[in-house]
């Protein structure tokens, strides 16, 4: 089964970190990605630019309404994701717990909507 691990974190923390801390942080994510990959569980992953770069679009009266900023303005934002392929929710929970985000933010696990074959 595929699960999307959405990494919710306080993105203001990163710029305040020293270069050494940033390097250490990035290395932790790289190691996590490597572990997922080595177990054959990684289906995709990306880090996202900060939410200040977000643009939201929706149609209002048939016309696209474009807004500067994220969909929901809250303290924690989606900073990245992992798409993983594992047997069940317990396996997904085990990976989410190892994800570095779990120690400074929140990992949301969402099963991917499986299309009928």
Partner 1 sequence: MTDEAQAAARRVADAVARRSYGKLVAYLAARTGDVAGAEDALAEAFAAALADWPAKGCPETPEAWLLTVARRKAADAGRRGRTAMAASGRLKLIAEELEAAAAAPEIPDRRLALMFACAHPAIDPAMHAPLMLQAVIGLDAARIASAFLVSPAAMGQRLVRAKGKIRRAGVPFAIPPREALAERSEAVLDAIYAAFAEGWSDPSGADPARRDLTEEAMFLARLAAELMPDAPEALGLLALMLYAEARRPARRGPGGEYVPLADQDPALWVAPMIEEAETVLRRAGGLGAIGRRQLEAALQSAHVARGRAGLSNWAETVQLYDALYALTASPVVAVNRALALAETKGAAAGLAAMPAEDERLAAYQPYWAARAELLARNGEAEGARHAYDLAIGLELDPAVRAFLQRRRAALPT
Contact flag: residue 15 with partner 1 (CB under 8 A):
no
Neighbours of 63 (CB within 10 A): 8
Contact flag: residue 83 with partner 1 (CB under 8 A):
no
N-terminal to C-terminal alpha carbon distance within the chain = 14
Smallest distance, partner 1 to C-beta of residue 75, A: 24
Contact flag: residue 97 with partner 1 (CB under 8 A):
no
Contact flag: residue 39 with partner 1 (CB under 8 A):
no
Contact flag: residue 43 with partner 1 (CB under 8 A):
no
Neighbours of 110 (CB within 10 A): 12
Task: Find the binder of partner 1 among 74, 89, 97, 104 (CB under 8 A).
Answer: 89
Q: Which residues contact partner 1 by CB under 8 A?
A: 1, 3, 87-90, 92-93, 109, 111, 116
């Amino acid at each position: 089964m595929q699960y999307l691990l959405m990494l919710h974190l306080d993105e203001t923390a990163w710029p305040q970190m020293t270069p050494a801390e940033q390097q250490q942080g990035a290395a932790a994510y790289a190691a996590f990605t490597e572990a997922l990959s080595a177990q054959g569980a990684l289906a995709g992953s990306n880090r996202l630019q900060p939410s200040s770069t977000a643009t939201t679009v929706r149609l209002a009266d048939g016309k696209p309404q474009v807004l500067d900023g994220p969909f929901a303005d809250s303290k924690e934002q989606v900073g990245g994701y992992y798409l993983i392929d594992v047997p069940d929710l317990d396996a997904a929970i085990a990976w989410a717990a190892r994800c570095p985000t779990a120690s400074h933010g929140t990992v949301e696990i969402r099963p991917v909507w499986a299309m009928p074959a």
